[in-house]
Amino acid sequence: DAKTTQPPSMDCAEGRAANLPCNHSTISGNEYVYWYRQIHSQGPQYIIHGLKNNETNEMASLIITEDRKSSTLILPHATLRDTAVYYCIVGSGGSNYKLTFGKGTLLTVNP
């Protein structure tokens, strides 16, 4: 699996947009970009994933650069409950793929 690089920590004000970057310069053509988050002492929560196109769901938006070497997860209106470690992972998808977790980004949303 391709490796990803994320900043170790970020801060965001409540109500503002949180933009979390991720570099994945060695991503292969058939690999997806997945985003998960882990709130303290809980299992990871799936957020969103994409291949080439930008994606949006009820939780977040995913912006993938045209060369697919980096992406940004956007939480449009961060709340205190969004404080968590956010993981950007690349993988080939399918029924047998494995997720390799890095250290992620600790996002702290401040009141």
Partner 1 sequence: GAVVSQHPSWVICKSGTSVKIECRSLDFQATTMFWYRQFPKQSLMLMATSNEGSKATYEQGVEKDKFLINHASLTLSTLTVTSAHPEDSSFYICSAIKQETQYFGPGTRLLVL
Binding residues vs partner 1 (CB under 8 A): 34, 36, 38, 41-46, 49, 87, 93-104
Instruction: Give the shortest CB-68-to-partner 1 separation in angstroms.
Output: 18
Closer by beta carbon to partner 1, 16 or else 54 = 54
Instruction: Give the shortest CB-94-to-partner 1 separation in angstroms.
Output: 6
Cα within 13 Å of Cα(68), Cβ side: 16
Instruction: Give the shortest CB-27-to-partner 1 separation in angstroms.
Output: 17
Closer by beta carbon to partner 1, 16 or else 45 = 45
Closer by beta carbon to partner 1, 13 or else 99 = 99
Quick one: three-class SS letters along 29-92? CCCEEEEEEECCCCCCEEEEEECCCCEECCCCEEEECCCCCEEEEEECCCCHHHCEEEEEEEEC
